[in-house]
Amino acid sequence: MNYPNGKKAQPLSNQTNQTFSNRGMTLEDDINQTNQYYLDVDKAVIHKKPTPIQIVKVNYPKRSAAVITEAYFKQASTTDYNGLYRNYYLDFEAKETKNKTSFPLANVHEHQIKHMESIVKHGGIAFIIIRFTVHNETYLLEAEKLFPYWYEKQASGRKSIPYKEIKQTGYLIPFKYQTRVDYLSIIDQLYFNNH
């Protein structure tokens, strides 16, 4: 585990106690719950964007709510989550993989990379959260560290990022009861030089 600021990984009691397993909860569930907690304690304002839907037909029955009867999923043009934390614009994508040894780059789309590049350029914080379900580990990888892998994919057909490299260049996100994916603890270390 690669801690920023030269700090050694300190085993926190609530970080190593994995008796309350997150198996069965999806990464999205865990992040939504975490964001709700951040909101409840007024720590940050971060939301998942709704899934983009192309609506084709809507019925308006009398005295009841409009019913959408034909619609299609659209590809998102940005990442899934964004918000505001300590004056900073935050933007990230979250992906889980069942792969043991690597994270397939097919999980990330070109427009998402372009979007994250714009975010970094305009002064925001962009990253990807990657969960290896088999290892029950969730990592934060800064966008700036994701880009080179992506360009290797474009240039020479790189298929994936090895799990070992994510372990080295990413940051293991602590799993806590109220913040099942406490990614802001990593952001605090990376950008604010503290816990």
Q: Does 77 bind a copy of itself (CB under 8 A)?
A: yes
111 near a copy of itself, rule: CB under 8 A = no
Identify which of 158, 99, 146, 149 has the alpha carbon closest to the alpha carbon of residue 119. Answer: 146
Under the binding rule (CB under 8 A), the answer on residue 41 touching a copy of itself is no
Stretch that binds a copy of itself, among 16-24, 37-45, 138-146, 180-188 (CB under 8 A): 37-45
| Residue that has been written with the tokens 């962009």 in this structure | 126
How far is residue 36's CA from residue 34's CA, in Å, rounded to a whole number? 5
- Find the binding residues for a copy of itself in span 119-178 (CB under 8 A): 119, 121-124
Q: Can you say whether the dihedral through the CA atoms of 153, 157, 159, 161 is positive or negative?
A: negative
Give me the half-sphere count of Cα atoms (radius 13 Å) on the Cβ side of residue 37. Answer: 15
Q: Which residues are annotated as a binding site for Mg(2+)?
A: 78, 80, 93, 112
Q: Which of 18, 53, 101, 162 binds a copy of itself (CB under 8 A)?
A: 53
Q: Is 84 in the site for a copy of itself (CB under 8 A)?
A: yes
Binding residues, as ranges, are 78, 80, 93, 112
Q: How far apart are CA 70 and CA 169, in angstroms?
A: 44
Nearest-5° angle of CA 120, CA 121, CA 126? 10
Q: Which residues would be at the binding site for a copy of itself (CB under 8 A)?
A: 39, 42, 44-45, 47, 49-53, 55, 65-73, 76-78, 82-89, 91, 115, 118-119, 121-124
